[in-house]
Amino acid sequence: MLWRLVPLLAAMAFLLTGCGKENLSALRPQGPVAEEQLFLMKLSLGVMIFVFLVVMVIYVYVLLRYRKRKGQDIIPEQVEGNHVLEIVWTIIPVVLLLIIAVPTVAITFNLAKDYRGHEDALHVKVTAHQYWWEFEYPDLGIRTAQELVIPAGKFIAFDVISADVNHSFWIPTLGGKIDANAGITNTFYLKADEADQLLQGRCAELCGASHALMDFKVKTLSETDFNAWVAKMTAPAPAVPASAQRGEQIFKDNCLACHAVSAQGLSVGPNLAGFASRSTIAGILDHSDENLRKWLEDPQKEKPGNKMMIQKLSNDQIDELVKYLNTLK
């Protein structure tokens, strides 16, 4: 009977191999925090497997060795209490728990270190909104959204809060996660080892209709590239080309009330500075003119329950707007 389950288990194992995208899996760490967390997972999993195997071996042995045989009708000797055995099976779990507890406590305290103000750390303030992420670099005077740009090899000290309901900030390949709550600033740090990676981030707390769409990206840059990015984000905006000026006017009339286009501007909705260089639109759609049009036509369809209050625009207006938004490099 049981062997019939084998194909099912094989199919399930096969399905599981589809999980764990390189840039989205805690099992493929890209930085020291995620590496330490993975070590703790492997350690406790290893101890659990060891206990499971030992118990199963003894269990199966006893089951076979002492089972009632045909024609046998004796009651075995009844034993109660054995000091040596009882001490042994009390000490073994204590030792196993110590093996898990000592590194867990040490690493947990280490991961709770506060890197804010540390000279080798970059300070980033994360604000979670329904359903997007705002990133502010207070020391650099930059605000952006949906795409977190960080230098590789540097500690990033995060301050995480929420502007509305509870969310959770999670970059599986770098470590985490940490709650984003209104009125409480939670702090933690992460570090990426390699430059030129595009990692995925997620909201990890059920926060409403579009919780599953509350994604963001993390772009890691070399120190030089990061400094160039900072210079670009803080430089005065270049003049809008003539071909995009109609679009700019439409933007001013319809969008500017909520969306700043300069990295210094305060913004109710996602700040759009550098928008054209981002890899996604609204954190979920691949960055293309076609998807941008789709988004502008009906943002509620793409991300139900989001707070974008766009007026119905004509196709022509949307075309002009796309032209303008593409200039926000």
Based on the shown chain and the rule CB under 6 A, indicate whether residue 211 belongs to the binding site for ligand CUA: yes
Strand 132-137 to 142-145 pairing = antiparallel
Quick one: 137 exposed, middle or buried, by C-beta within 10 A (0-12, 13-18, 19+)? buried
Within positions 123 to 152, which residues make up the interface with ligand CUA, using CB under 6 A? 128, 131
For residue 218, the minimal CB distance to ligand CUA (Å) is 16
What residue has token string 């369809």? Answer: 301
Nearer to ligand CUA, 10 or 209 (CB): 209
Q: Do residues 238 and 273 make contact, with C-beta atoms less than 8 angstroms apart?
A: no
What token pair was written down for 89? Answer: 């099976």
Q: 29, 35 in Cβ contact below 8 A?
A: yes
Beta carbon nearer to ligand CUA, 205 or 248: 205
Distance CA 89, CA 92 (A): 5
**What backbone phi and psi angles, to 5 degrees, belong to 174?**
-105, -20
Residue 124, both tokens: 């980033």
Q: What angle in degrees, to the nearest 10, is found between the helix axes of 32-65 and 83-111?
A: 160
User: Which residues sit opposite 191 in a β-bridge?
Assistant: 155
Min dist. Cβ of residue 298 to ligand CUA (A) = 21
CB of residue 211 vs ligand CUA: minimum separation in angstroms?
3
Q: How far is the CB of 203 from ligand CUA (least distance, A)?
A: 3
**C-alpha to C-alpha distance for 263 and 168, rounded to whole angstroms:** 24
Q: Which stretch binds ligand CUA (CB under 6 A): 9-17, 22-30, 83-91, 198-206?
A: 198-206
215 counts as binding ligand CUA under rule CB under 6 A = no
Tell me which of 205, 215, 248, 302 binds ligand CUA, using CB under 6 A. 205
Number of residues interacting with ligand CUA: please give it, by CB under 6 A: 9
Judge whether 274 and 140 are in contact, CB under 8 Å: no
CB of residue 269 to ligand CUA, shortest distance in Å: 15
214 is an interface residue for ligand CUA by CB under 6 A? yes
Selected range binding ligand CUA among 24-32, 94-102, 201-209, 272-280, rule: CB under 6 A: 201-209
Among 167, 191, 259, 303, binds ligand CUA (CB under 6 A): 167
CA atoms of 156 and 175, how far apart (whole Å): 12
Cβ at position 44, least distance to ligand CUA in Å: 27
Site pattern 267..306 for ligand CUA (x: CB under 6 A) = ----------------------------------------
Token pair 């090899």 in the structure block, residue? 153
**The binder of ligand CUA chosen from 34, 161, 171, 203 (CB under 6 A):** 203
Q: Which residues bind ligand CUA (CB under 6 A)?
A: 128, 131, 167, 203, 205-207, 211, 214
